[in-house]
């Protein structure tokens, strides 16, 4: 039971040292804020993962292009097998 002169929502003495009994009202708000932060972090992680996948695809395409260019420099076009030549009709 609150002491005389203290707030109606406090217990254990004067309002300066009393414990508020309505402190749990902030809990749902804090939980919602934490959930929103987790959702934002998950979306950011998904964006980073997509960017990494795109970079990997670009790197693979660049590697295939470089290998093709090196093969064209090493092997003259006359010696390329018919199945690999661009002039195949």
Q: Give the C-alpha separation, 78 to 21, whole Å.
A: 89
27 phi, psi to nearest 5 deg: -60, -50
Give the angle subtended at the CA of 4 by the CAs of 15 and 26, to the nearest 5°: 40
How does pLDDT run across 48-88, given as a tens digit for each residue? 999 999 999 999 999 999 998 888 788 766 666 665 555 55
Domain residue extents for the chain: 10-73
How does pLDDT run across 1-47, given as a tens digit for each residue? 455 554 555 555 555 555 555 566 677 888 899 999 999 999 999 99
């Amino acid at each position: 039971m609150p002491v005389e002169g203290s707030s109606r929502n406090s217990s254990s003495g004067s309002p300066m040292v009393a414990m508020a009994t309505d402190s749990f009202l902030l809990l749902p708000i804090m939980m919602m804020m934490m959930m929103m932060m987790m959702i934002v972090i998950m979306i950011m992680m998904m964006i980073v993962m997509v960017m990494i996948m795109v970079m990997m695809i670009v790197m693979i395409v660049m590697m295939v292009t470089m290998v093709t260019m090196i093969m064209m420099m090493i092997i003259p076009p006359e010696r390329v097998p018919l199945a690999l030549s661009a002039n195949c009709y």
